[in-house]
């Protein structure tokens, strides 16, 4: 068995790759420009509503890989690793990747619709991992271990959102959107390693997610045109 194949089969490979890419994206402007590298971060793709309206759609994705400072990335890196390991163990490699990306994009879309502030950070995707865990708890509540863990993560999610309300410089809409997006996309994907999700729930979650994306994107573009 090759080293790469063994790594893929025995390690939380997607979590490790996400973490490595996120750290790399932080180090590029930090090493090149130090504390003056914020302009480069902007060029690399933080969430900027007017830039998105101008056609830079990748800014729904890139913000989740960018961070403002060492404390910012350190806090998110801890969540990415410890939550990512658990989600990847339950959902598998590719489902973990989809939850992370779609949840992060969902957070940035909600922020685009409801906030004109620029934002960046993996928090949208981190909250998507919380949302996916809550989906597991809701779907398999009869399992006492899952119920106990889900209750703890629900409390942790609520505490974080309450903390956001009393903090400055926090994109609370991105966090809320990430959690909801992670919850819905987790239903769409299912958790075959744990149990079966009804097809009706999976279809409903997909429809709700798609409709929400369309409505929020329309709202964001409308609001942006009104403020120009």
CA–CA distance, 135 with 191 (Å, rounded to integer):
10
Tokens of 100: 């992370």
* Catalytic residue numbers, as ranges: 123, 175
CA–CA distance, 222 with 228 (Å, rounded to integer):
10
- Cβ within 8 Å of residue 59, ≥6 positions away: 45, 46, 47, 48, 51, 52, 108
CA–CA distance, 14 with 158 (Å, rounded to integer):
27
CA–CA distance, 188 with 206 (Å, rounded to integer):
6
């Amino acid at each position: 068995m090759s080293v790469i194949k063994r790594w893929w089969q025995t390690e939380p490979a997607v979590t490790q790759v996400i973490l490595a890419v996120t750290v790399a994206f932080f180090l590029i402007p930090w090493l090149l420009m130090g504390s003056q590298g914020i302009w480069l971060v902007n060029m690399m793709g933080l969430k900027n509503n007017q830039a998105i309206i101008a056609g830079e759609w990748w800014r729904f994705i890139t913000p989740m890989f960018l961070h403002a400072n060492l404390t910012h990335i350190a806090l998110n890196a801890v969540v990415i690793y410890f939550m990512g390991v658990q989600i990847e163990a339950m959902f598998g490699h590719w489902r973990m990747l989809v939850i992370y990306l779609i949840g992060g994009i969902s957070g940035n879309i909600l922020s685009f619709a409801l906030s004109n502030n620029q934002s960046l950070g993996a928090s949208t995707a981190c909250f998507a991992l919380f949302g996916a865990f809550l989906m597991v708890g809701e779907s398999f509540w009869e399992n006492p271990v899952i119920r106990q863990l889900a209750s703890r993560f629900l409390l942790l999610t609520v505490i974080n959102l309450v903390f956001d309300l009393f903090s400055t410089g926090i994109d609370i809409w991105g966090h809320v959107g990430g959690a909801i997006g992670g919850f819905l996309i987790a239903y769409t994907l299912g958790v075959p390693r744990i149990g079966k999700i009804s097809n009706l729930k999976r279809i409903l979650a997909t429809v709700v997610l798609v409709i929400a994306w369309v409505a929020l994107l329309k709202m964001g573009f409308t609001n942006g045109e009104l403020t120009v």
